[in-house]
Every structure is written in C-alpha cells, then in structure tokens.
Amino acid sequence: MENHIAALRKERRLSQEELAQAVGVSRQTITSLEVGKYTASLPLAFRLARYFGCAIEDLFIFEEE
C-alpha cells in the first residue's frame, strides 16, 4: 500500500528514527512502510495519522485490486 509518510516526514525535517520513536516503532518499520514492504496495522496507522494531524485516508493510498 502506498503512503505519504516519507513526504510528510521530510516536510517536518524528521529522521526516520525520530518518527519511529514518536509513534513507538523501530526505524526499520518506518523504512519498510516508506518503501512499501510493510503495511501498517490499524493502531499504527491511527498513531501515524494523529502524529501528522491528518486522516488515515490522507496518509495511506488505498487501491482496490
């Protein structure tokens, strides 16, 4: 699933480590999310959206198959 995590993180001049600490995951999880190798759990999606101050739908791009 595609997302806007990297773009929002870079806009705020955050490192992957800083974002990871803010939402309670590892830096590797943030890396995997940004490159599309991992899909966030619903609780993590909510934490990320809350952190960035946006709706989940604005953070993640859902494409039906």
- Residue keyed to tokens 């809350």: 50
Beta bridge partners of 9: none
pLDDT (tens digit, 9 = 90+) per residue, 25-36?
999 999 999 999
pLDDT (tens digit, 9 = 90+) per residue, 38-56?
999 999 999 999 999 999 9
pLDDT at 54: 97
Query: How far is 32 from 17, CA to CA, in rounded Å?
Result: 13
